[in-house]
Amino acid sequence: AEARTLAGLAGLGDLVLTSTGDLSRNRTVGLKLARGHRLDEILSSMHMVAEGVRTTYAAVELAARCGVEMPITQEMFQMLRHGKSPREAIRALMERSLKSE
């Protein structure tokens, strides 16, 4: 991947729309998780795929294979796969030891 791909209008537009758009499937999943719904309930009520769920699983697997720390992605995985509450995930991130990244 190239840096200019994200920085282009299409890449940036996709990021903004995914983060803020009312029709964004990924945003819908995130909002419902924040309201306390379970992932299986959320996904079964949707008629389309929220690709961020599978992408999170794949990113965690790739990071583990490559020995790369991805704390935010790991906490997302814990929420999606293991039902960790968003509040607990944020707390875990905020309580991490400080270090250069």
| CB burial of residue 50 (10 Å; 0-12, 13-18, 19+) | buried
pLDDT in tens, 43-89: 999 989 999 999 999 999 999 999 999 999 999 999 999 999 999 99
pTM of the model: 0.82
Domains of the chain, earliest start first: 3-94 (1.10.1040.10)
Buried b (16+ CB within 10 A) or exposed e, 65-88: eeeeebeebbbbbbbbeeebeeee
